[in-house]
C-alpha cells in the first residue's frame, strides 16, 4: 500500500527554470476525503462525522484532512484512516478528484476522494468527538460540502469494483459464513442473488478456506465458516478477470 517516496535529486543548475516555473503557478488548498465503508446489520454503512463549520451545523461530513507537505496522496488518506479507526492494513484506493470552485464555502479547496473498506467490528473508533458514527448508505441526507456527491461516486465505484475483484472480504470478519457473504453482495449491489448459484460461484473461484468451524448461537441450523484466501488471491490478481454476477 505505502509507496516509498523516491528521493529524486536533480542537478541544481538544471532545475532552476523548473523551480521558477512552479513558483509562478497559482496554488490551491488540497485535501483528501475518505469514504470509509463498513457492513453491519446487513446494510452498507459509511463513517461520518458532524461538521465543525457553522454553515454546515448538524450536517455530516466525510473524514478528511489536508495533504501535508511532502506527503503522498495515498499516505494522507491512510493517515486519516489510521488516526480515526486505529486500523492498519485496510483496503484503500483512490476514487476521484473533486474540484468544483465553490465546493467549500470557505474558498476553493480541491479534494481527492478515497474509498476504504473495513470490518466494523474489528476496530474501535478512536476519537468519538463530533459524533463520529456509522450511517446507512441508502439513507444519507444532510451532508456538508459536496460530500453526498462524493459518497455516491464512491458507492458506484465500489459496486463496479466488487464485481471485478472480491473486495467484499475486507468488510467481513475473518471468519464468515456463505450467508453473510451473500448478504454483503446483495446489500452492496442492491439485488437478490440465487443462493445455490452464489455458492457455486464462490466454490468455483476456490478462494475460500474451509476452517471446519460452524456458526455458534444461531437460532437455526448453523452454517460452516470460511476464511478468505488472501494469499491465493494476491497471486492470482494479475490475471484476474472478474466475478460477473
User: Comparing C-alpha atoms, which of 31, 15, 13 is closest to residue 23?
Assistant: 15
Q: Which does 97 bind (CB under 5 to 8 A by kind): DNA, a copy of itself, none?
A: a copy of itself
Task: Name the residues that contact DNA, by CB under 7 A.
Answer: 177-179, 194-197, 199-201, 204, 214, 218-224, 244-245
Q: Is residue 129 near a copy of itself by the rule CB under 8 A?
A: no
Element of type H or E holding 65: strand 63-66
Contact 37, 115 (CB under 8 A): yes
Please identify which residue in 23, 192, 220, 221 interacts with a copy of itself, judged by CB under 8 A: 23
Spell out, one character per residue from 42 to 81, where the chain touches a copy of itself: x when CB under 8 A holds, - when not: ----------xxxx----------xxxxxxxx--------
DSSP string for residues in 189-205: HTS---HHHHHHHHHHH
Minimum distance from residue 137 beta carbon to a copy of itself (Å): 21
Binders in 130-169 for a copy of itself, by CB under 8 A: none
Any contact of residue 15 with a copy of itself (CB under 8 A)? yes
Distance of CA 127 to the CA centre of its chain: 19
**Residue 28 CB-half CA count within 13 A:** 16
* 221 binding partner (options a copy of itself, DNA, none; Cβ < 5 to 8 Å by kind): DNA
How many residues would you count in the chain? 245
Amino acid at each position: 500500500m505505502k509507496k516509498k517516496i523516491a528521493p529524486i535529486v536533480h542537478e541544481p543548475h538544471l532545475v532552476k527554470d523548473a523551480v521558477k516555473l512552479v513558483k509562478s503557478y497559482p496554488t490551491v488548498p488540497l485535501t483528501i476525503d475518505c469514504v470509509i465503508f463498513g457492513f453491519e446489520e446487513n446494510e452498507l454503512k459509511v463513517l461520518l462525522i458532524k461538521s465543525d463549520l457553522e454553515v454546515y451545523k448538524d450536517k455530516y461530513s466525510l473524514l478528511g484532512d489536508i495533504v501535508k507537505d511532502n506527503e503522498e496522496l495515498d499516505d494522507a488518506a491512510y493517515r486519516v484512516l489510521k488516526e480515526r479507526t486505529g486500523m492498519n492494513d485496510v483496503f484503500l484506493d483512490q476514487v476521484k478528484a473533486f474540484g468544483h470552485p465553490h465546493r467549500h464555502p470557505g474558498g476553493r479547496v480541491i479534494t481527492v476522494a478515497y474509498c476504504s473498506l473495513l470490518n466494523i467490528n474489528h476496530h474501535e473508533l478512536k476519537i468519538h468527538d463530533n459524533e463520529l458514527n456509522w450511517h446507512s448508505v441508502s439513507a444519507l441526507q444532510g451532508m456538508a460540502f459536496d460530500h453526498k456527491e462524493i459518497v455516491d461516486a464512491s458507492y458506484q465505484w465500489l459496486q463496479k469494483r466488487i464485481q471485478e475483484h472480491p473486495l467484499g472480504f475486507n468488510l467481513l470478519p475473518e471468519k464468515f459464513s456463505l450467508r453473510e457473504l451473500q448478504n454483503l453482495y446483495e446489500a452492496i449491489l442492491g439485488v437478490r442473488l440465487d443462493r445455490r448459484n452464489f455458492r457455486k460461484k464462490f466454490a468455483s473461484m476456490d478462494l475460500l478456506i474451509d476452517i471446519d468451524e460452524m456458526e455458534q448461537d444461531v437460532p437455526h441450523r448453523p452454517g460452516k465458516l470460511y476464511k478468505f484466501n488472501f494469499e491465493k488471491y494476491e497471486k492470482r490478481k494479475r490475471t484476474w478477470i472478474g466475478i460477473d454476477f
